[in-house]
Amino acid sequence: MLAQRVATALIGIPVILGLIAWGGVAYSLAVAAILVLAALEFFAATDHQRAAPAARSSPTRLNFSPYLKWRPLAFLGAAAVALLVAAAHNGSDWWAGALVLALFLVFLALLLQGDVQRGLHDWLWLVGGVVYVGFLGSHLVFLRQLDDEGQWAMVAIFSTWATDTAAYFVGRAIGRTHIAPAISPGKTVEGSLAGIVGGFGAVLFLNWATGLRVDLAEVIPLALLLPLTAVIGDLAESLLKRGAGVKDTGALIPGHGGFLDRLDSILFTAPLVYYFVTWVVL
């Protein structure tokens, strides 16, 4: 497991750095592809009524058909996520309009389906996935547009991963006190505190290393808020997974689970950094 995590990081980090530095359409397309896969993982894991228990407990790497064979609505939800990312690339007005259109299309699909007994369940299921993965995740596009070289995107993404990494290793080494055993048996107070310290240091370091050099009076509140938000985002996905009865949402990333498992904290820290920079720094 550890070797897989390290190998994935050695391959993934340069790719992500390259995409952030490149920006533009390539970056937005990459975000769209990742979020669509994360959305399919979400829909597959959380559709209790129609997904076979055996399929839920044993996800395959690239084959979603055991989960979604009879659920075309899930692909509508994934398409809505892609729509939100594409619209975000063109600006906030397009993005807001795409959100309205996505919600309209969900209602239209449910009306055409005509299943009164499952209408409410399916509406909550679809809208939950579109908002959780698409609405929050599309902030990654806005984040990249804050500057020409992607410094703020680097701060958000790599500080979040620093938080997760510190929490993981310290939690495994010395973690004893469970922070929320009913939600995530593996999360400990010791690991979470280490994650907060690691994330705090990462924000300060990346503020300097990326050349942003934002005043400490402005960056320290962000350095405090980001790792706390990352820990909460991690627990939030754990809550959903426990409710769905799955350990991981997928197995597409060796050593890490699925894309949603890797994005859980970033889905919250990306909007945090975007609005903090927009409202406080700029």
- What are the tens digits of pLDDT across the range 2-53? 677 777 778 889 999 999 999 999 999 999 999 999 999 999 888 866 544 4
Predicted local distance difference test score (pLDDT) of residue 98: 98
Angle, CA of 45, 49 and 50, to the nearest 5°? 75
Q: What pLDDT score does 256 carry?
A: 72
Q: What is d(CA 274, CA 69) in angstroms, rounded to the nearest whole number?
A: 37
Q: Which two tokens stand for residue 84?
A: 């939100």
Residue 196 CA, chain-centre distance (Å), reads 18
Q: How far apart are CA 223 and CA 233, in angstroms?
A: 16
Round the average pLDDT of the chain to a whole number and report it: 90
Distance CA 267, CA 98 (A): 19
Q: Taking Cα atoms as reference points, which of 110, 118, 41 lies closest to residue 81?
A: 41
CA–CA separation, 142 vs 120, rounded Å? 32
Q: What would the mean pLDDT of 194-207 be, rounded to a whole number?
A: 98
Q: Residues of the chain with pLDDT > 70: what percent?
A: 91
User: What's the pLDDT score for residue 282?
Assistant: 83
Tell me the average pLDDT across 203-221.
97
Q: For position 55, what pLDDT does the model report?
A: 42
Which pTM does this prediction carry?
Answer: 0.91
Average pLDDT over residues 59-72: 56
- Per-residue tokens: 50: 């129609």
3-class state of residue 257 by DSSP = strand
CB atoms inside a 10 Å sphere around CB 242: 15
Domain that holds residue 196: 2-281
Report the domain count for the chain: 1
What 3-state DSSP class applies to 49?
A: coil
155 pLDDT more than 80: yes
Q: What's the rounded Cα separation, in Å, for the pair 148 and 174?
A: 41
- Closest alpha carbon to 269 in 162, 130, 188: 162
Distance in angstroms (rounded) separating the CA atoms of residues 107 and 261: 28
